[in-house]
Amino acid sequence: MATNKVYGTPGQMSVFAAAAAAWVTSTVYAVGIVVTNSSSSYFCLTAHTSGTFATDLAAGKWVLVTATTFTPAGVATGAGRVSNSWNRGSGSQPMRYLWRLAANWVATPTAGDALRVYLLTSVDGATAALSDGGIAPTDAAISSENQLLYDCMLIGAVISDGTAAIRVTSGIVNIFSQYVYVAIWNAGAKSLTSTASDTVFTLVPVPDDIQAAS
């Protein structure tokens, strides 16, 4: 895992692995079905009858289900960090994502202290010219949260209860643009630990499920 990066080619998403059936040919698949093929999970984008998997995948009928991860480390109190660009890919892509943020401070912060997370999205692959607040969409430190307020959408925060240095929260966000950047702001009284795997933000695509008749 690359420290302080957003990347689009991590391992398969394990959330669906247990429930997903193996892909088979000559089968009718509906939008939202998740299958496994060669140890990876795929989400059905277009209703179809399966033929050859490689051909169906190339035709945009399936999309690889992956989790995208940002691992900021060592961010001081009253400071932040923005990720590199994550290119979700052209054409049809999942819209709804589950986000999860685990924060790990070096020591127990004060109750109410927060690690806030923002998303910046763009229709092209972007430079600082896109940024009203002067944020370059590259792995970099941020010195003022006001920069994020210009450019980004606040989607949530980890709030300390004053009893532990580790807190986790999650939610749902809709993403429409091809390019995504993640930014975090440490409003806590303690710095984040310097280990990249301690503080982790993930985005996982979520299929639109339909409740079957019972």
In DSSP notation, 45-108 reads -S-EE---HHHHHHTTSEEE-B-EEE---SPPTTEEEEPPPEE--SSS---EEEEEEEEEBSS-
- State the pairing for strand pair 28-29/68-70: unpaired
Check residue 6 and give its pLDDT.
Answer: 35
Q: What is the mean pLDDT of residues 82-105?
A: 83
Q: At 70, list the tokens.
A: 């940002």
pLDDT digits (tens, 9 = 90+) for 31-43: 767 788 887 777 7
Q: At 104, list the tokens.
A: 């790990």
Share of the chain above pLDDT 70, in %: 79
What's the chain's length in residues?
214
Check residue 128 and give its pLDDT.
Answer: 47
Check residue 107 and give its pLDDT.
Answer: 93
Residue 19: count other Cβ atoms within 10 Å of its Cβ.
9
Whole-structure pTM over 0.85, yes or no? no
Given a contact cutoff of 8 angstroms between Cβ atoms, the answer to whether 134 and 203 are in contact is: no
Given a contact cutoff of 8 angstroms between Cβ atoms, the answer to whether 6 and 137 are in contact is: no
**What are the structural domains of the chain?**
14-64 (2.10.10.20), 68-205 (2.60.120)
More confident call, 90 vs 52? 52
According to the per-residue pLDDT averaged within each range, which of 15-24, 92-101, 156-165 is highest?
156-165
Q: At 93, list the tokens.
A: 């892509």
User: What is the C-alpha to C-alpha distance for residues 63 and 14, in angstroms, rounded to an integer?
Assistant: 15
Q: For residue 6, which of 66, 85, 75, 65 has the smallest C-alpha distance? A: 85
Check pLDDT > 70 for residue 110: yes
Q: What is the mean pLDDT of residues 87-102?
A: 82
Q: How confident is the model at residue 93 (pLDDT cuts 50, 70, 90)?
A: confident
